[in-house]
């Protein structure tokens, strides 16, 4: 890739400069004007290039457009939009929107889940560890959580929250669940053990940077909200059985997957649910039943997308958020439960599949029409929104 002369415009909403359709994809950069009236922009992958700490000068070209030169080594692997993680043979992969694989990396273990944070940083969990990488794939930091890790997310400040837990092989087979919060540099801020009989499986952070987690706890609550500053419990909700992964929308509504359950087994008729939408206080907005257990969920602009155990030939569902979860389902196809799903801001959805004897990731548009299929073993999928 040669050096690029690219042009952009200053966005009025936030004062950043956006350069579109570059060889690296769209670039949005902070901008400033120094005491001499010169415009500088910041490229997070070009630290030290023409100026200190990644700031370098832009100029007006002959057409009056703001122009910068991006060197060829500053765009490597920054155009990715999708991360998948899976088995040791297929640990962590990054892809663009057209399904082109850009690279493969990872620790050589089974990677259980992954997440994308501010500035394109991404994280993944395996064994007892969490790894955080920069947008170009270079290592940022790694932390030993001292217990198996199952879920990870970023808050809006770039702090990282990890959940997991351990089965203690003693006479009562007790388990405990961990929630750990690290700052953006990898320093541990707090750690809490949440309920003696729980292994945490899913985690998201809301707009207040509070933490919502899910896990195995069939006898009591199964969704918890924790104070982001210290990990203390703020609220809880009981779905009636174990919960798995969780997603959150821009209004802090959360969408929870888990084992099909009912809170009133004596009702006539018994009403079951396998996906729950809760508001920011963990009060129920609505719930729907796919007919069996659900595994993963993500939220686009108008829909939530869920994968789970196959029922009636369906194992990928689209739920209308504004219509009480009105549900449409298709077959991915997958003979058993797909493990992972992710959605983008245009309600395209990316789902785990097993096709003609091989694991795949498939992209569907908002109408659930297949767009492409690539080879990948996906225990987790995350989209760079």
Contacts of 247 (CB under 8 A, 6+ apart): 204, 254, 255, 297, 298, 299, 304
Question: The pTM is what?
Answer: 0.80
pLDDT above 60: residue 238: yes
- Quick: pLDDT tens for 328-355: 988 766 656 688 999 999 999 999 988 7
- Quick: pLDDT tens for 98-152: 999 988 887 888 999 999 999 889 999 999 999 999 887 888 999 999 989 999 9
Class of domain 82-383: mainly beta
C-alpha to C-alpha distances, 284 to 53, 226, 281, 300, nearest whole angstrom: 47, 18, 9, 20
Residues 137, 86, 112, 244: is their CA dihedral positive or negative? positive
Longest dimension (CA), the chain: 78
Question: What residue ranges do the domains of the chain occupy?
Answer: 4-74, 82-383
> Are the beta carbons of 29 and 43 closer than 8 angstroms?
yes
Which residue do the tokens 């990872």 mark? 106
- Quick: pLDDT tens for 137-174: 888 999 999 989 999 999 999 999 999 987 655 545 55
d(CA 77, CA 214): 33
> Are the beta carbons of 240 and 261 closer than 8 angstroms?
yes
The reported pLDDT for the residue numbered 68 is 62
Q: What are phi and psi of 275, to 5 degrees?
A: -145, 130
Ramachandran area for residue 225 (φ above 0: left; ψ -120 to 50: alpha; else beta): beta
pLDDT above 70: residue 285: yes
- Quick: pLDDT tens for 52-61: 445 556 666 6
At 76, the pLDDT band (50, 70, 90 cuts) reads: very low
How many other C-beta atoms are found inside a 10 Å radius of the C-beta of residue 199? Answer: 22
d(CA 66, CA 19): 9
pLDDT above 80: residue 262: yes
- Token pair recorded at residue 56: 């370098």
More confident residue, 315 or 15: 315
Q: Which of 86, 131, 89 is nearest to 111 (CA)?
A: 86
d(CA 363, CA 285): 29
How many other C-beta atoms are found inside a 10 Å radius of the C-beta of residue 58? Answer: 22
> Are the beta carbons of 50 and 59 closer than 8 angstroms?
no
Q: Which of 197, 172, 280, 182 is nearest to 231 (CA)?
A: 182
């Amino acid at each position: 890739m040669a050096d690029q002369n690219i042009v952009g415009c200053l966005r009025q909403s936030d004062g950043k400069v956006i350069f579109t359709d570059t060889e690296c994809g769209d670039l949005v950069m902070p901008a400033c004007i120094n005491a001499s009236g010169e415009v500088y922009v910041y490229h997070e992958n070009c630290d030290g290039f023409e100026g200190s700490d990644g700031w370098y000068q832009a100029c007006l070209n002959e057409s009056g457009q703001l122009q910068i030169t991006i060197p060829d080594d500053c765009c490597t692997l920054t155009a990715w939009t999708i991360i998948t993680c899976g088995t040791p043979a297929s640990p962590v992969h990054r892809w663009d929107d057209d399904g082109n694989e850009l690279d493969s990396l990872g620790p050589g273990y089974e990677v259980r889940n992954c997440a994308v944070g501010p500035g394109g940083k991404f994280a993944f969990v395996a064994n007892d560890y969490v790894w955080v990488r920069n947008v170009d794939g270079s290592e940022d930091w790694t932390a030993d959580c001292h217990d198996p890790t199952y879920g990870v997310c970023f808050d809006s400040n770039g702090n990282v929250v990890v959940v997991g837990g351990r089965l203690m092989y003693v006479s009562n087979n007790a388990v405990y669940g961990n929630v750990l919060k690290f700052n953006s540099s990898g320093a541990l801020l707090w750690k809490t053990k949440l309920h003696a009989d729980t292994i945490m499986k899913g985690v998201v952070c809301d707009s207040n940077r509070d933490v919502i987690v899910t896990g195995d706890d069939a006898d009591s609550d199964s969704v918890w909200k924790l104070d982001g500053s210290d990990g203390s419990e703020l609220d809880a909700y009981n779905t009636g059985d174990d919960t798995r992964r969780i997603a959150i929308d821009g209004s802090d509504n959360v969408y929870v997957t888990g084992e099909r359950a009912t809170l009133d087994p004596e009702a006539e008729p018994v009403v079951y649910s396998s996906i729950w939408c809760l508001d920011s206080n963990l009060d129920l907005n609505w719930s729907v039943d796919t007919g069996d257990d659900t595994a993963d969920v993500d939220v686009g602009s108008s829909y939530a997308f869920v994968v789970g155990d196959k029922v009636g030939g369906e194992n990928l569902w689209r739920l209308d958020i504004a219509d009480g979860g009105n549900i449409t389902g298709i077959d991915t196809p997958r003979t058993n439960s797909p493990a992972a799903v992710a959605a983008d801001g245009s309600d395209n959805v990316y789902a785990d599949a097993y096709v003609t004897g091989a694991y795949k990731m498939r992209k569907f548009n908002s109408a659930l029409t297949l767009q492409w299929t690539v080879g990948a073993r996906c225990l987790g999928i995350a989209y760079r929104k």
